Amino acid sequence: MSRTVWAVLALLALAFAAVTGLAVKGGILGAQKPTAAIGGPFQLVDQTGRKVDAGALKHKWSAVFFGFTYCPEACPTTLLALGQTEKLLGPKADQFQTVFISVDPQRDTPKVMANYLSNSSFPRHAIGLTGTPQQVAAAAGAYHVFYQKAGD
């Protein structure tokens, strides 16, 4: 395999190890009562305009990350890596979803999110979420995510 593939696999392995560590620490995979280390309730809108809450994360492994469609490097690179992960999962890809939450709701409307996520190299099972600035701020707070618009 090429160095790029190995680098992506190594990065994803570290990410999955961190998620697994949080799950074990929180008791999700252990015998203790399950508690969430991060995350919480949210009310947003997906790329089809449908209202979505934290229930969308149940019953699937979810890679949740915050970004924006005008992001020049990190966001598309992450989505490309997650698209490759989906392919590597083969038939188990239906048990995995990518949840991309925009921190730029003024520009990232459902239509913009749908167009952005239509890239064939991005995950097929991606859910693009946006909402009002207050809804996005609440979701970011639940996930302990800091963001700031450039120039603010």
Alpha helices in the chain (DSSP H): 3-25, 74-89, 110-117, 133-142
**Tens of pLDDT along the chain (152 residues)?**
556 645 544 455 555 545 544 444 444 444 455 555 788 899 999 999 999 999 999 989 999 999 999 999 999 999 999 999 999 999 999 999 999 999 999 999 999 999 999 999 999 989 999 999 999 999 999 999 999 988 75
On whether the CB atoms of residues 3 and 10 are closer than 8 A, the answer is no
Region for residue 58 given its phi and psi (left: phi exceeds 0; alpha: psi -120 to 50; beta: otherwise): beta
Q: What is residue 36's predicted lDDT score, i.e. its pLDDT?
A: 56
Q: What is residue 149's predicted lDDT score, i.e. its pLDDT?
A: 84
Q: What is residue 77's predicted lDDT score, i.e. its pLDDT?
A: 95
Locus of tokens 């809450």 = 53
- What gap in Å lies between CA 85 and CA 122, rounded to an integer? 10
Q: Which residues contact 22 (CB under 8 A, 6 or more apart)?
A: 37, 38
